Amino acid sequence: MQLTKRVQRLNESMTIAISTLARDLKKEGKDILSFSAGEPDFDTPEIIKKEAIKALNNGFTKYTAVAGISELLKAISGKLKRENNLDYKPENIITSNGAKHSLFNLIQALIESGDEVVIPSPYWVTYPELVRYSGGVPVIVETNDENDFKMSAKQLKKAITDKTKMVILTTPSNPTGSLYTKKELEEMAEVLKGTNIFVCSDEMYEKLIYDKEFVSVASISEDMFQRTITVNGLSKSVAMTGWRFGYLASPNNELIKAMVKLQSQSSSNINSITQYAAIPALEGRVDKEIELMRREFQKRRDLAVELINNIDKLSVVKPDGAFYLFINIKKVNNDSMSFAKELLAKKGVAVIPGIGFGSEGYVRFSFATNEKNIIEGIKRIKEFVE
Ligand code: PMP
Ligand code: GLU
């Protein structure tokens, strides 16, 4: 069979592949501790479930407008104003089946063959794949644990050419948890001034921040607001991974309309029940529940960082956000794939090789699991590396 070149260019998501493998091994009865999943272990808050049941009972089970129902778009617009100080009108917003789908639409609408997209590494697995799928060229800017895994304005300037169409920023980052400060964002904004370069700001982990301040990229200046596409969702912050809810916003209506057109010919509107269920979260009505989850993640982060840094051959930078540790394994084995495979085979511990995120010599450890698992898992990792 002759598959298209574009689909042949695509690699399977390594995060999903390994999480699925760990789940399957567990189902077979193997003693597996998985730190591979990029999803909270908490249940979706009760208020959201109730809203979904209400929508179902009220018969909201039909097609809706492609971008989403007006109540939902208004709720997103309100959230972005209240929490992020961003003035997006409802018509500047489109909801999709998870932020991954939002990113897919965006890159399909904006990236043409040969366009360059600047992506700092370690990056979330999906970005370069989507860029290549659209015919674009990912331009990877390497960062490491010595600079807290953050791209500097200087590095950004060096990466820009006359083919650069977009920069992807993830703050806080998956897989490193690093968070850009206002000053760092301002410095990057200065580099971008006077160019036609778009910024895709993936703010999925915005609510999971530990002792630091979150700054939305688009809030830096009017110039940044105009060039930025803000991407977000509820998967991580409200434990709603399975509901498939993501959105993006841009003041550029031509861009939004293009994505609505694309989505009208692919998946249409997102699940009608999810749309109603998302509204309480966007209106701040589950903030208490979010805060409880955030505090629990912070406790787990502190525990996991301490335990990892007590292992001689491993080290980790304390993440400011998200629920991942990006562990330096260079003193054990620079080949992250062989490290992860052996760790799974010998100790039943699943982590994601750094190479999937474009950075050799690291593995990603998700602490979105209970303390007992974290203690036992890191004990096994210690035995493995020693
Ligand atoms: N962006 C980042 C940085 C992520 O880590 C993820 C998923 N883990 C997504 C986007 C997509 O999330 P979803 O499709 O569930 O909204
Ligand atoms: N994004 C999450 C992760 O990094 C979930 C899996 C995926 O969508 O790739 O693990």
Q: Which amino acid is at 33?
A: L
Best residue among 14, 119, 124, 247 to mutate for probing ligand 1's pocket (most ligand atoms within 8 Å of CB) is 124
- What is the token pair recorded at 23? 């789940």
Side chain identity at residue 331, one-letter code:
K
Q: Which residue has the tokens 């399909």?
A: 108
Ligand 1 pocket test, pick from 169, 235, 237 with the greatest ligand atom count within 8 Å of Cβ, gives 235
Token duo for residue 17: 């592949």
Other CB atoms within 10 A of residue 203 CB = 23
Question: What letter does residue 111 receive in the DSSP assignment?
Answer: P
Q: What is the residue-wise DSSP string for 290-302?
A: HHHHHHHHHHHHH
Residue 63 contacts residue 45 (beta carbons within 8 Å): no
The one-letter amino acid code at 341 reads K
pLDDT at 34: 94
The amino acid occupying position 152 is: S
Query: How many Å lie between the centroid of ligand 2 and the Cα of residue 162?
Result: 32
Q: What is the dihedral of CA 38, 263, 53, 323, to 10 degrees?
A: 10
- Sequence ranges of the domains in the chain: 5-44+287-385, 63-282
Ligand nearest to the CA of 357: 2
pLDDT at 37: 85
Q: Give CA–CA dist 236/186, Å, rounded.
A: 27
CB-based contacts of 111: which residues, under 8 Å, 6+ apart? Answer: 117, 131, 134, 135, 136, 165, 166
Residue 319 has φ and ψ, to the nearest 5°, of: -75, 145
Q: Residue 49 CB: number of other CB atoms within 10 A?
A: 12
For 63-282, CATH gives: 3.40.640.10
Q: Which atom of ligand 2 is nearest to the CA of 174?
A: 4
Instruction: Check residue 329 and give its pLDDT.
Output: 98
Atom of ligand 2 nearest to the CA of 126: 9
CATH no. for 5-44+287-385: 3.90.1150.10
Ligand 2 lined by 38 (C-beta under 6 Å): yes
Which of 112, 69, 131 lies closest to 94 in space, CA to CA?
Answer: 69
Whether the CB of 15 sits within 6 Å of ligand 2: yes
Atom 8 of ligand 1: nearest residue by CA position = 38
Pair of tokens at residue 214? 């979150």
Site to substitute for ligand 1 among 19, 168, 204, 366, most atoms within 8 A of C-beta = 204
Topology alike, domains 5-44+287-385 and 63-282: no
**pLDDT of the chain along its 386 residues, tens only?**
999 999 998 988 888 988 888 899 989 999 999 999 889 999 999 999 999 999 999 999 999 999 999 999 999 999 999 999 999 999 999 999 999 999 999 999 999 999 999 999 999 999 999 999 999 999 999 999 999 999 999 999 999 999 999 999 999 999 999 999 999 999 999 999 999 999 999 999 999 999 999 999 999 999 999 999 999 999 999 999 999 999 999 999 999 999 999 999 999 999 999 999 999 999 999 999 999 999 999 999 999 999 999 999 999 999 999 999 999 999 999 999 999 999 999 999 999 999 999 999 999 999 999 999 999 999 999 999 99
Burial of 141 (0-12, 13-18, 19+ CB in 10 A): middle
What is the C-alpha to C-alpha distance for residues 247 and 106, in angstroms, rounded to an integer?
11
Angstrom distance (rounded) from CA 104 to CA 129: 10
Per the CB < 8 A criterion, the answer to whether 355 and 342 are in contact is no
